[in-house]
Amino acid sequence: MAKKIVCLGSCVVDLTCRSDHLPLPGETVITDYFKMGPGGKGSNQAVAAKRAGGNIILMTKVGNDILSQVALGSFKKEGFDEKYILIDKDAFTGIALINVDKNTSENSITVAPGACGYLTGDDIGLLKPEIESCDIFLTQLETNLDAIEKAVGIAYENKKTIVVNTAPVQAISDELLGKITMVTPNEIEASLLTKVEVRDKSSAGRAAGIFFDKGVKYVVITLGKKGCYINDGKTEALVDPIEVKTIDTTGAGDAFTGGLVVALAEDRSLLNAAKFATAAAALSTTKAGTAPSMPYRAEIDALVKKTYGSL
């Protein structure tokens, strides 16, 4: 039986436009491209992990509105256990307003978490047996922090591997950091959390040192076009990005984290897990959207073989 991953995370519906450039403050930009689809960092990472071959359970929450049907339809299609897809009758389903520059593939995103920002203690209690029996617990910072802290506490008490994607970035306590096994920020998030401007391997190493001082065991920092930085406290390395024809980078970070936890669940080394995750992230940029762009295992394996030979 494959090692079990449990993800507590957000679910939002992405409302995406692609235009010739990102709007400047006060500017209105006309486009003929609009797409609505499932998204949210928790949902995206869970879909990425499931498509990559992971044995994963997702807990999230949506509203009782028309947008929830987009999310629920997606979860059913992906094969998630509906027991942990909760419905809040009083809150709206979260949304993400996404603008993508069709020339550079850069994006700007505004998120309203909605229902997934109202996870309760009872919700975490429902998930507790799954956390207690999992191997890897994955979460992000796009749901309410008190729920995250409670779930991480359960995972920590049961000596689970705890992976936290620190996005969207917000202040988190040293107590919470001290319970986390691995953080996976991008360079901006790492800079804000450590007060070290992360630009390259050297600065990433200094940021990693601060995470280690807080009790984190492993640090993985994604660096966009520069690839990713990994450090297990003893050795560090940069993993180069994989060149592909990029269309949309919006879901790349989520594809990376989803791929990473699957590779870790397969007992790959941190370096090889990062390479697997890099392939997943690269492939996600070749398609539009977030959750719909997540690659399947056969695609990842083919790119890994082409790029690295074997892992």
Position 129 in a domain: yes
pLDDT number for residue 1: 62
Position 46 in a domain: yes
Instruction: State the CATH number of the domain containing residue 188.
Output: 3.40.1190.20
Q: Which residues of 270-279 are buried (b: 16+ CB within 10 A; e: fewer)?
A: bebbbbbbbb
pLDDT tens-digit readout, 20-50: 999 999 999 999 999 898 889 999 999 999 9
Give me the percent of the chain exceeding a pLDDT of 90.
88
Is the sign of the CA dihedral 216, 136, 292, 225 positive or negative?
Answer: positive
Position 28 in a domain: no
Asked if residue 204 has pLDDT above 70, the reply is yes
Containing structural domain, residue 219: 8-22+34-303
Position 202 in a domain: yes
Report yes or no: 207 and 190 within 8 Å, Cβ to Cβ. yes
Position 2 in a domain: no
Q: How confident is the model at residue 289 (pLDDT cuts 50, 70, 90)?
A: confident
Length of the chain: 311
pLDDT tens-digit readout, 135-186: 999 999 999 999 999 999 999 999 999 999 999 999 999 999 999 999 999 9
Taking residues 239-251, report their average pLDDT.
91
Position 290 in a domain: yes
Of 53, 54, 61, 52, nearest in space to 9 by CA: 61
Taking residues 78-86, report their average pLDDT.
94
pTM of the model: 0.93
pLDDT number for residue 138: 98
Taking residues 257-276, report their average pLDDT.
97
Give catalytic residue positions: 254
Q: Cα–Cα distance between 140 and 275 in angstroms, integer?
A: 21
Taking residues 68-95, report their average pLDDT.
94
Position 310 in a domain: no
Position 309 in a domain: no
Provide the domain count of the chain.
Answer: 1
